[in-house]
Amino acid sequence: MLAEQTILRIPGPTPIPPSVNRAMNQPMIGHRDQETKSLIESIKPRLKPIFGTAQEIMVLAGSGTAGLETAVVNTVQPGDEVLVIITGAFGERFAKICQEYNITTHLHDVRWGNAAEAQAVSELLKKHPSIKAVFATYCETSTGVLNPVKDIAEAVHTNSDALFIVDGVSCVGAVETKMDEWGIDVLVTGSQKAMMLPPGLTFIAASKRAWKVIEKNKQPRFYFNLQKYRDNLENNSTPFTPAVSLLFGLEQVLQLLESETLEKVYQRHQVMMNMTRAAFKAMNIPLLTSDPAASPTVTAIKPEDFNPEDLRNIIKQDFKMTVAGGQQHLKGEIFRVGHMGYCSPADVLQSISLIEIGIKKIGKDITLGRGIQAAQEVYIQQL
């Protein structure tokens, strides 16, 4: 029995609620039948509050990266100038997609672990007045940074006519998101993070400003053509075969989020972040990010006196708990603890307890329970 017990604490894919798993086990239905149209009709309006938009949200069968590529090919074309803000591996992915399509790409590299600053974006836009779009990552999964997209959006629109395009894959559904109010022109997220589903769906919405650009854009695209998805969505359909089982699951996810309320969902993620950060501070283990730059969905830890890979291995071996390692030049330098989606303060306390044991077992002299106590105190204070 215990061989089947696993504890997943990575920043995606995240655990799936049992009711969502049950929903996805429903018998298959015809993807062009009325049942699927009714399902899409139910889902459509309920996604909008999560994005903070009055615009329709297209649902594509594909990964989060499919959503990023969709955002690129629908808004810019070869020869256009764009600015990509890079605060980690997924900012770099946006840049690679742009470069693959022969788009003139200006890079704003920020030290990994730091958040982007709106003032620096303003200066770059003044320096490059032909920029057509600015790409940014809301939560940079690889570093645990939450970028100030509201402030960046203001900088973009104050200093240019560029579109502001945001990767929200690892935080939309867990943090406050006001696409329309903040001036985000295209927003993308994926199913396997705060949306509490398996990988396989990407969600994308575009502002009225963005649609004007998309409709005039001559960049060839077929599967990723947002106009096809918009037109089909009017009839509660999709241009290509939808991931029907995931749509069943999505309907149940929306029910769970509505029952808890988005405000309480956001509060829960804030509490889990504060508990996790307090625990590692109490153990005198450095964090990669500052408190103001920290994401409520994933915490990156940068130990100075033990190997994070040794810790990851021991807790996987002893407890079947998985935490994430570092990416690219941070590989072997950090580990990352996910706390998003189907995750509660009780789960955080479990994770911290097992990590403490793991740290002790790999030879670091810590006082067991110190991190747990700090996390408990945060939880009590924030009731």
pLDDT digits (tens, 9 = 90+) for 347-368: 999 999 999 999 999 999 999 9
Is 2's pLDDT higher than 80?
A: no
pLDDT digits (tens, 9 = 90+) for 211-269: 999 999 999 999 999 999 999 999 999 999 999 999 999 999 999 999 999 999 999 99
Which pLDDT band holds residue 5 (cuts at 50, 70, 90)?
confident
Tell me the average pLDDT across 288-316: 97
Decide if 138 contacts 147 (C-beta within 8 A). yes
- The rounded distance, in Å, linking the Cα atoms of 226 and 58 is 8
Could you give the percent of the chain with pLDDT greater than 70?
99
Q: What is the 3-state secondary structure (H, E, C) of 122-148?
A: HHHHHHCCCEEEEEEECEECCCCEECC
Residue 323, CB-side half-sphere exposure with 13 Å CA sphere:
30
pTM of the model: 0.97
Q: What pLDDT is stored for residue 235 in this prediction?
A: 97
Tell me the average pLDDT across 31-46: 97
pLDDT digits (tens, 9 = 90+) for 185-196: 999 999 999 999
**If you average pLDDT over every residue of the chain, what do you get?**
97
Decide if 187 contacts 51 (C-beta within 8 A). yes
- The rounded distance, in Å, linking the Cα atoms of 377 and 114 is 27
